[in-house]
């Protein structure tokens, strides 16, 4: 990487080492070594093992399950860095945990997305990078620069390469409609929306499908698959309404609790996710295909380091789709 070598530092915790290694390889640099271990009482220790004085440091650490552990690990690494006089610390958080608690819907509820933003700032983070926040407004919780990266052109290219016919993009709830609409606009396909009710936390009751899905290739779009209740119930409903094939495109594969069993049983042909979260072996079922964010992330880090705009990259990606 020429002049970038030695000036740019890339480190990672234990949340997603494989993504960090892939990004480092693309940037032609080595990961800065970090000694991370736990004391017998569970407290986390982190020490950066080489000088970062005057450097631009990027920490790749999603706050994925275990969210509390990985968040604390990130905060402690930031504190260790802050005391070592770097030029700038950028927290690259591909999956931003706690982002779903972004507002009060009942009395005496927390807004933990705001709390985590303030914790990162207090620890000493100068900039934050995320992918596909649950709601884009979470960016407003930061008083430091933040980039929420859009994966729409990556998804569009992937779908076009599969040469699927008679596509309809389906939002599994109203909140996912903007994502479905954005992707449909690029590929020039219609959308449908599943009318979902959630009587209690974690319980989904699907009522209706708005839009035509009969004999179509339905692609469900969402940002997170957690317990997979929403996605699988939506898939059953689409099948009932006559969809020919059903696939899923979701950015963050949290896949907690009964998710894998539900996805295995559901009438879903393929599930496309990204590597914002590292999948353990027990979750790597045949239906799940992983799209790497490393090419886009490495280009974003390179441009953030150089101080060059990211918009040019997106323009090229969209121009490529038009050809």
The radius of gyration of the chain's CA atoms, rounded to the nearest angstrom, is 20
Q: Domain of 108: which CATH number?
A: 3.40.50.2020
The answer to whether position 104 is within a domain reads yes
Contact 247, 270 (CB under 8 A): yes
pLDDT surpasses 80 at 323: no
In whole angstroms, what is the distance from residue 119 CA to residue 122 CA? 5
List Cα–Cα distances, 129 to 59, 120, 146, 177, 219, in angstroms: 10, 12, 6, 23, 27
pLDDT tens digits, one per residue of 181-223: 999 999 999 999 998 666 566 565 657 899 999 999 999 999 9
In whole angstroms, what is the distance from residue 76 CA to residue 291 CA? 30
Residues 172 and 300 in one domain: no
- Catalytic residue flag (residue 281): no
- The angle formed by the CA atoms of residues 15, 176 and 229, to the nearest 5 degrees, is 65
Residues 105 and 179 in one domain: no
List Cα–Cα distances, 251 to 131, 132, 195, in angstroms: 8, 7, 21
Nearest alpha-carbon partner for 159 in 193, 184, 131: 184
pLDDT tens digits, one per residue of 247-299: 999 999 999 999 999 999 999 999 999 999 999 999 999 999 999 999 999 99
List Cα–Cα distances, 146 to 140, 164, 213, in angstroms: 9, 35, 38
The answer to whether position 303 is within a domain reads yes
Per the residue annotation, which of 9, 196, 216, 302 is the catalytic one?
196
Residues 35 and 129 in one domain: yes
Q: How many CB atoms lie within 10 A of CB 250?
A: 25
What is the pairing mode between strands 191-200 and 203-210? antiparallel
Helical axes 311-322 vs 152-161, angle rounded to 10°? 20
Contact 60, 19 (CB under 8 A): yes
Domain count, the chain: 2
Residues 61 and 172 in one domain: no
Average pLDDT, stretch 51-72?
96
Contact 61, 77 (CB under 8 A): yes
Residues 140 and 227 in one domain: no
The answer to whether position 114 is within a domain reads yes
Contact 230, 263 (CB under 8 A): no
Regarding pTM above 0.85, the answer is: yes
Residues 167 and 279 in one domain: yes
The answer to whether position 320 is within a domain reads no
Tokens of 307: 């101080």
The answer to whether position 319 is within a domain reads no
Residues 206 and 267 in one domain: yes
Average pLDDT, stretch 132-161?
90
Q: What percent of the chain has pLDDT over 90?
A: 79
- The angle formed by the CA atoms of residues 160, 163 and 167, to the nearest 5 degrees, is 80
In whole angstroms, what is the distance from residue 60 CA to residue 63 CA? 10
Domain that holds residue 89: 2-150+294-311
Residues 86 and 182 in one domain: no
Residues 229 and 300 in one domain: no
pLDDT surpasses 50 at 2: no
Residues 276 and 299 in one domain: no
């Amino acid at each position: 990487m020429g002049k970038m070598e030695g000036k740019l530092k890339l480190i990672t915790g234990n949340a997603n080492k494989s993504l960090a290694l892939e990004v480092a390889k693309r940037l032609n640099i080595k990961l800065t070594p970090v000694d991370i271990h736990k004391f017998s009482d569970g407290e986390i220790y982190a020490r950066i093992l080489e000088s970062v004085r005057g450097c631009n440091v990027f920490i790749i650490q999603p706050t994925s399950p275990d969210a509390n552990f990985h968040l604390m690990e990130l905060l402690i690494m930031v504190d260790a860095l802050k005391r070592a006089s770097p030029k700038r610390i950028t927290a690259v958080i591909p999956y931003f945990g706690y982002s779903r608690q972004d507002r009060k819907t009942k009395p005496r509820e927390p807004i933990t997305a705001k709390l985590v933003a303030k914790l990162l700032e207090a620890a000493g983070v100068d900039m934050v990078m995320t992918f596909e926040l649950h709601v884009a407004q979470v960016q407003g919780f930061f008083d430091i620069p933040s980039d929420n990266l859009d994966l729409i052109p990556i998804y569009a290219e992937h779908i076009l390469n599969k040469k699927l016919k008679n596509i309809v993009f389906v939002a599994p709830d109203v909140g996912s409609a903007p994502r479905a609409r954005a992707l449909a606009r690029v590929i020039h396909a219609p959308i449908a929306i599943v009318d979902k009710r959630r009587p209690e936390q974690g319980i989904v009751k699907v009522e209706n499908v708005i839009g035509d899905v009969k004999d179509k290739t339905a692609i469900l779009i969402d940002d997170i698959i957690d317990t997979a209740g929403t996605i699988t119930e939506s898939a059953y409903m689409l099948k009932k309404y006559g969809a020919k094939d059903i696939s899923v495109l979701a950015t963050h594969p949290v896949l907690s609790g009964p998710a894998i069993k539900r996805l295995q049983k559901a009438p879903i042909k393929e599930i496309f996710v990204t590597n914002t979260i590292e999948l353990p072996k027990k979750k790597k079922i045949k239906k799940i295909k992983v799209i790497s964010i490393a090419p886009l992330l490495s280009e974003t880090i390179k441009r953030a380091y150089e101080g060059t705009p990211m918009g040019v990259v997106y323009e090229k990606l969209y121009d490529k789709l038009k050809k």
